[in-house]
Amino acid sequence: MAKRRIGIVGYGFIGSYLFEKLKNFDKYEVCFVWNRTVDKMRGAIPVDLILEDLAQAHTRSPDLIIEVAHPCITTNYGAYFLQHADYMIGSPTILADPAVENIICKTPYPHGVYVPVGAMWGAHDIRKMADMGTLKALKVTMKKYPSSFKVLGYVAENLKTVKDEQVVIAEAPVRELCPLAPNNVNTMAIAALAAHNLGFDGVTGCLIADPHSTVHDITVEVTGPAVDGDNFAVLTRRSSPTSPGMVTSTATQDSFYSSMTMACGKGPGVHIC
pLDDT over threshold 60, residue 13: yes
pLDDT band at 251 (very low <50, low <70, confident <90, very high): low
DSSP state of 222: E
Report the chain's terminal Cα–Cα distance, integer Å: 23
Which of these CATH numbers, 3.30.360.10, 3.30.420.10, 3.30.470.20, 3.30.420.40, describes 123-246?
A: 3.30.360.10
> For 175-189, what is the HEC assignment?
HHHCCCCCCCCHHHH
Domain boundaries defined on the chain: 4-119+253-272, 123-246
Indicate whether 245 pLDDT > 60: no
Percent of the chain predicted with pLDDT > 70: 96
Query: Mean pLDDT score of the chain, rounded to an integer?
Result: 92
Q: Which is nearest to 34 in space by CA: 75, 6, 63?
A: 6
pLDDT tens digit sequence for 35-72: 999 989 888 999 999 999 999 999 999 999 999 999 99
Q: What is the pLDDT of residues 77-94, one digit of tens each?
A: 999 999 999 999 999 999
Eight-state DSSP code of residue 26:
T
Q: Strand pairing partners for 207?
A: 142, 170
pLDDT band at 266; cut points 50, 70, 90:
very high
The CATH classification of domain 4-119+253-272, taken from the options 3.40.50.300, 3.40.190.10, 3.40.50.720, 1.10.150.130: 3.40.50.720
Res. 242 pLDDT band, cuts 50 70 90:
low
Provide the pLDDT for residue 142: 95
- Output the DSSP codes for 231-245: EEEEEEEEEEE--TT
The whole-angstrom separation of Cα 200 and Cα 183 is 16
Q: What is the distance between the alpha carbons of residues 73 and 69, in angstroms, rounded to a whole number? A: 7
State the maximum Cα–Cα separation within the chain, in Å, rounded to a whole number. 65
User: What pLDDT, on a 0 to 100 scale, did the predictor assign at position 249?
Assistant: 54
At 146, is the pLDDT very low, low, confident or very high (cuts 50, 70, 90)? very high
Topology alike, domains 4-119+253-272 and 123-246: no
**Per-position b or e across 95-121, b if 16+ CB within 10 A of its CB:** bbbeebbebbbeeebebbbbbbbbbbb
Between CA 128 and CA 247 the distance in angstroms is: 29
Least Cα distance to 198 among 144, 263, 143, 138 occurs for: 138
The answer on pLDDT for 240 being more than 80 is no
In 3D, which of 137, 117, 118 has the Cα closest to residue 129? 137
Distance CA 17, CA 192 (A): 27
CA 57 to the chain's CA centroid: 21
Name beta bridge partners: 227: 230
* Beta pairing class for 230-241 and 215-227: antiparallel
Strands (E), 116-229: 137-144, 167-173, 204-209, 215-227
